[in-house]
Amino acid sequence: MSQEICIRTENLNLFYGAFQALKNINMDICGREITAFIGPSGCGKTTLLRCFNRMNDLVEGCRSDGKIYIKGRDIGADTDVNALRREVGMVFQKSNVFPMSVYDNVAYGPRTHGTKKGRLLDGIVLESLKKAGLWDEVKDRLNKSALGLSGGQQQRLCIARALAVEPEILLMDEPTSVLDPISTGKIEELCGELKKRYTIVIVTHNMQQAARISDKTAFFLLGEMLEYGATKDVFSDPKNEKCERYITGRFG
Amino acid sequence: MSKRPWKNVIKEGFFKAVFGTAAVFSILAVVLIIVFLIYRGSPALQKIGFFDFVFNAEWMSDSRDTYASEVSGSYGILTMIAGSLYAAAGTVTVGGTLGFFTAVFLAKFCPKRIKKPLNQIINLLAGIPSVIYGFFGMRVVVPLLGVFSANGDGSGILAVGIVLGIMITPTVAALSGASIEAVDASYYEGAAALGASREQAVFKTVVPAAKSGIFASVVLGVGRAIGETMAVVMLAGNNAVFPSGLFSSFRTMTANIVLEMSYAGELQAGALAATGLVLTFFILVINLCFNALKGGKMAKKRTAAGRKANPFGRYFNRACQKTRFSASPLYGQNPPKEENYVNNKPAKHSNAAAIAAVGKYVSYAAAAAAVFALLAVVLFVLINGLPHVTGELLFGAFNYGGAPSIAASLLATAMLIFLTSLIAFPIGVFTAIFLAEYTVKGGKFVRLIRLTVETLGGIPSIVYGLFGMIFFCGILNMGTSIIAGCLTVSLMIIPTTVRGTEEALLAVPDSLREGSYALGGGRLTTVRRVVLPPALPGILAAVILGIGRMAAESAPVLFTMGASLKPTPTGYRSSGTTLAVALYALAREGAYVDEAYATACVLVVGVLTLNIISAALGARLQKKLSGGGGIKAQSK
Ligand SMILES: Nc1ncnc2c1ncn2[C@@H]1O[C@H](COP(=O)(O)OP(=O)(O)O)[C@@H](O)[C@H]1O
Ligand SMILES: [Mg+2]
């Protein structure tokens, strides 16, 4: 099972001021798979995820060392972050649809990157909404404010919005933690669908979810990656004792 | 993932530079104002002696005095420092009490149905120009008080206190109300669960928890009273003596500047500039107190969720949030007051409950009095003025001596608003964009800009007038002209524009910015396409409020644009009288009372209309961000 490595970190350390949030992370994430990050709150999952599209640049007092390669290319200081973020899409824990129409939300990314033509945009919007499994639900209200959608729909709209810039990697930070079970089911299904074309990294608090949908699982604790491997191995036979205790629900 | 494209880097850099330049301008303005006041004031202070100037109680200015000649007059402002403090004390006694109890009523006892309209009315009335209050005071309050005065003259501290008190009531009520509303509901519930009556819970638990916010609002009222000029000049009597009773005539520092500036000689003008310096010093100290009370500097770190667009601003929200976490009688380390509740006697029968119940009725009465007084001011002007708003008054030709027409003033006001808007709003909005969107790192430079903007916002309007007269009219040789007025008023409008715009921008949740960045939108794209559209109604509201202030303020244009009724301006180099100044001139002359009423009427209607539009736009911002309004797609 030799697969292309899509994201690689080398000796990655990250600090918020004096606090070290990530400790020497070395990991390879494979393409066209779902990789799940699990671990108790505050262990650094979100932080690591945000390294992959350099969103931590926006955080005051945050600095890191070590290297991150996306598809073999170093994303250090002189990368064009906007181009990087176009390639590495992100879906946030709390859906953050813009206060615009459904259409404009999805078209935001392509427009930002220079797609002006109406016909072309229409096609992209349609495609993205379909991929996100939202088309049927919103096709009659494309020009209505996106804020009127339900929570689950808003989250899927965020996914559609991310897909519209044609990324290769999709980062998802607890995308279902504030959703009801039905919406959660839909998004999990969607992930299974999307992994045929995209590399997905998903942070989740929900062990069942990680076990259900992911191919690889990484367990973090206090900024360290203690376990990383095929999901079925991690869940059936964890090597790390703390990971085992976490998975069996004895802490965290 | 290529290297950064240079075109984008340059574009981003260019706009950042534009926004940054605007911000630097604000610093320059403050520095200029302080420097030129010192430049004008210090020779006079040297000649008079600083100690003598501040601690001598005799003011007998002589316009023939120069820096070279022997001093024949005497220049001590102690009586005026005292006068300003007396005015503040009177104002706060009336306005603080009315405002506080009105706030308690609105927040805790007011029936839901009338709460919102009542709040709106009170906020609206906060925008009435101070000349209108002065005019109302002259025509109504002073004659009424004259009945009780020994010499039959009702002007003096009492009149000033009452009128300025009414004037600051909306501000105090709004700010106190915001901090009372921000007290966590659990406080009230905790007290109620211990058997406290509603009144007790409100006055013993909720109000103490909000006290720093309430004090802050009163301190703000003190600042407004000390900085107020026009209404005071119209009501104080203006003799430079220590006030000896409620009806005794007195003079404030602000009044001193207004009264003598227009004919001041060399040394005298210097002494007036020095008065402005002392006045500014007082205001800055008061602002420091206010800032300390409301919880210090604006926090640098933003919280992504839940920042509501509050009309009184995030500056104040911070204070309210802070009180919520500070020690309280119920949750804090100091629980002495609990005893009242814990004893098993039914609380209703205790003395404390009776006192608290009185507090409730006082709140009812205060709210009624406040609304009555504020409406009285407006209705008085409208009823007396409307019948005299004639075509002749509005559009008649200007003639010296004959019946006055305000056509020239309308034109001058419009010219002032036009040019000032062109200068002040871009600078103000850009500064705010720089502060809100380009300063994640929160460095020294940013804090400096923020501090200067707040300082600029605290300087009383008469000091702007003084500065404008020295700098624009004098040093830049513009003379008394509309352009000088525009530049002066611009300086005054910039800080409020910055503040209003920044609040609108910060009301846009950070999660939206992150969403845009994550899609590869750069900073400029994010600001333009994600932040500005929802913030636009809020920014417009700030702009329209600014226009209202341009029309309302008279102190800054009195000496820079023209103090008496002038013929129709022919351009920006000619002098002109704004509506507010025209009202001041007509009211003080006393010859054309009907015309004065009509002018006041036009002014009030204009300013209130602008304030209504501004409030409506502010409400739209809130709705837009909370998902109420459907926004049309631009394409498809
Ligand atoms: N902006 C920030 N500033 C300072 N510390 C932060 C910041 N964001 C996260 N942290 C800290 O870094 C640690 C890891 O946070 P995070 O990555 O959000 O954890 P997780 O997503 O696993 O719950 C936590 O201890 C958190 O308090
Ligand atoms: Mg997290």
Distance CA B630, CA B199 (A): 42
Is A122 part of any domain?
A: no
**Does residue B35 carry a pLDDT above 50?**
yes
ipTM of the complex: 0.87
Unique residue bearing structure tokens 């604790």:
A221
In angstroms, the Cα distances linking B39 to A142, B98, B270 are 63, 41, 9
Please state the φ and ψ torsions of residue B612, each to the nearest 5 degrees: -65, -45
| Nearest C-alpha neighbor of B499 from the set B279, B312, B258, B243 | B312
| Nearest C-alpha neighbor of A175 from the set A165, A163, A164, A185 | A185
Could you say which DSSP state residue A145 is in? Answer: B
**Does residue B400 carry a pLDDT above 80?**
no
* Cβ-defined contact of A109 to B305 (cutoff 8 Å): no
Three-state SS for B243-282 is: CCCCCCCECCHHHHHHHHHCCCCHHHHHHHHHHHHHHHHH
Mapped onto helix, strand or coil, the DSSP state of residue B399 is: coil
Query: Which secondary structure element, helix H or strand E, spans residue A98, and what is its range?
Result: none
Measured in Å, residue B582 CA sits from the centre of ligand 2 at: 62
Unique residue bearing structure tokens 């802490």:
A251
Which residue's CA is the nearest one to ligand 1's atom 25? Answer: A42
For residues A110 and A104, is the Cβ–Cβ distance under 8 A?
no
Token pair of B10 as six digits: 């340059």
The domain that holds A26 is classified in CATH as 3.40.50.300
The 10s digit of each residue's pLDDT in B413-464 is 999 999 999 999 999 999 999 988 887 655 677 778 878 888 888 889 999 9
Helix axes of B266-293 and B461-468: crossing angle, nearest 10 degrees: 140
How distant is the Cα of A215 from the closest Cα of chain B, in angstroms?
25
Over residues B33-58, the mean pLDDT reads 88
Asked if residue A105 has its Cβ within 6 Å of ligand 1, the reply is no
Asked if residue A231 has its Cβ within 6 Å of ligand 1, the reply is no
For residues A67 and A12, is the Cβ–Cβ distance under 8 A?
yes
Query: Residue A102 contacts by C-beta under 8 Å, 6 or more apart in sequence?
Result: A138, A141, A142, A143, A144, A145, A146, A149, A157, B633
Mapped onto helix, strand or coil, the DSSP state of residue A21 is: strand
For residues B487 and B423, is the Cβ–Cβ distance under 8 A?
yes
Length of chain B measured in residues = 636
pLDDT at B330: 29
> What residues in chain B have their Cβ under 8 A from chain A's Cβ atoms?
1-5, 8, 300-301, 305, 440-442, 509, 511-512, 514-522, 525, 529-530, 533-534, 624-627, 629-636
Domain that holds residue A92: 5-97+168-247
Over residues B6-32, the mean pLDDT reads 86
Higher pLDDT: B64 or B326? It is B64
Which residue's CA is the nearest one to ligand 1's atom 2? Answer: A16
Query: Which secondary structure element, helix H or strand E, spans residue A150, and what is its range?
Result: none
**Does residue B314 carry a pLDDT above 80?**
no
Over residues B371-385, the mean pLDDT reads 91
Of the pLDDT bands very low, low, confident and very high (cuts 50, 70, 90), residue B475 is confident
Chain B residue nearest residue A117, CA to CA: B635
Query: Across the interface, which of B1, B518, B626 has its CB nearest the CB of A55?
Result: B518
pLDDT at B322: 31
pLDDT at B296: 41
List the beta bridge partners of residue A172. Answer: A91, A202
Is A103 part of any domain?
A: no
**Does residue B34 carry a pLDDT above 70?**
yes
Chain B residue nearest residue A87, CA to CA: B1
Distance CA B606, CA B129 (A): 11
Could you say which DSSP state residue B397 is in? Answer: P
Mapped onto helix, strand or coil, the DSSP state of residue A67 is: strand
Distance CA B399, CA B406 (A): 11
Distance CA B196, CA B188 (A): 9
**Does residue A134 carry a pLDDT above 80?**
yes
Unique residue bearing structure tokens 């935001």:
A108
Is A26 part of any domain?
A: yes
Which residue's CA is the nearest one to ligand 1's atom 1? Answer: A59
Of the pLDDT bands very low, low, confident and very high (cuts 50, 70, 90), residue A1 is very low
Identity at A14, one-letter amino acid code: L
Contacts of residue A125 in chain B, CB cutoff 8 Å?
636
Tally of domains within chain A: 1
Average pLDDT, chain B: 81
**Does residue A251 carry a pLDDT above 80?**
no
Measured in Å, residue A44 CA sits from the centre of ligand 1 at: 6
Of the pLDDT bands very low, low, confident and very high (cuts 50, 70, 90), residue B401 is low
List the beta bridge partners of residue A67. Answer: A10
Over residues B8-22, the mean pLDDT reads 88
Higher pLDDT: B329 or B560? It is B560
User: Rg for chain A (alpha carbons), in Å?
Assistant: 18
| Nearest C-alpha neighbor of A96 from the set A147, A60, A164 | A147
For residues A40 and A246, is the Cβ–Cβ distance under 8 A?
yes
Asked if residue A16 has its Cβ within 6 Å of ligand 1, the reply is yes
For residues A226 and A243, is the Cβ–Cβ distance under 8 A?
yes
Is A206 part of any domain?
A: yes
Could you say which DSSP state residue A97 is in? Answer: -
Evaluated on CA atoms B446, B449, B455, B461, the torsion sign reads negative
Distance CA B519, CA A113 (A): 9
Of the pLDDT bands very low, low, confident and very high (cuts 50, 70, 90), residue B4 is low
Length of chain A measured in residues = 252
Query: Which secondary structure element, helix H or strand E, spans residue B605, and what is its range?
Result: helix B593-626
Asked if residue A44 has its Cβ within 6 Å of ligand 1, the reply is yes
Return the domain boundaries, chain B. 1-32+408-595
Start-to-end CA distance of chain A, whole Å, equals 33
In ligand 1, the atom with minimum distance to the C-alpha of A47 is 17
Mapped onto helix, strand or coil, the DSSP state of residue B550 is: helix
Distance of CA B112 to the CA centre of its chain: 29
Query: Residue B622 contacts by C-beta under 8 Å, 6 or more apart in sequence?
Result: B308, B309, B507
Is A79 part of any domain?
A: yes
Could you say which DSSP state residue A101 is in? Answer: B
How distant is the Cα of B540 from the closest Cα of chain A, in angstroms?
18
pLDDT at B10: 87
Is A141 part of any domain?
A: no
Distance CA B84, CA B80 (A): 6
**Does residue B305 carry a pLDDT above 50?**
no
Please state the φ and ψ torsions of residue A91, each to the nearest 5 degrees: -120, 130
Is A108 part of any domain?
A: no
Is A205 part of any domain?
A: yes
Helices (H), B182-229: 185-193, 198-200, 207-209, 211-227
Token pair of B13 as six digits: 């850099």
pLDDT at A252: 56
The 10s digit of each residue's pLDDT in B197-247 is 788 888 888 888 888 888 888 888 888 889 998 899 998 888 888 888 888
Distance CA B442, CA B204 (A): 39
Q: For A31-164, list the strands marked E by DSSP.
A: 34-38, 62-70, 73-74, 88-91
Mapped onto helix, strand or coil, the DSSP state of residue A227 is: strand
Tell whether domain B1-32+408-595 is in CATH 3.20.10.10: no
Token pair of B169 as six digits: 């009531």
Contacts of residue B5 in chain A, CB cutoff 8 Å?
80
pLDDT at B3: 53
* 3-state DSSP percent of chain A in helix, strand and coil, to 5: 40, 30, 35
pTM, to two decimals: 0.81
Distance CA B241, CA B256 (A): 12
Evaluated on CA atoms A182, A188, A194, A196, the torsion sign reads negative
The 10s digit of each residue's pLDDT in A221-250 is 999 999 999 999 999 999 999 999 998 887
Give ion ligand 2 contacts, CB < 5 A: A 46
Contacts of residue B440 in chain A, CB cutoff 8 Å?
58-60
Residues above pLDDT 90, as percent of chain A: 67
**Does residue B632 carry a pLDDT above 60?**
no
* B146, burial (CB in 10 Å: exposed 0-12, middle 13-18, buried 19+): middle
Sheet holding A62-70, edge to edge: A19-30, A5-16, A62-70, A73-74
Chain A residue nearest residue B621, CA to CA: A99
| Nearest C-alpha neighbor of B406 from the set B416, B396, B415, B414 | B396
Query: For the CA atoms of B535, B541, B542, B546, what is the dihedral angle to 10 degrees?
Result: 160
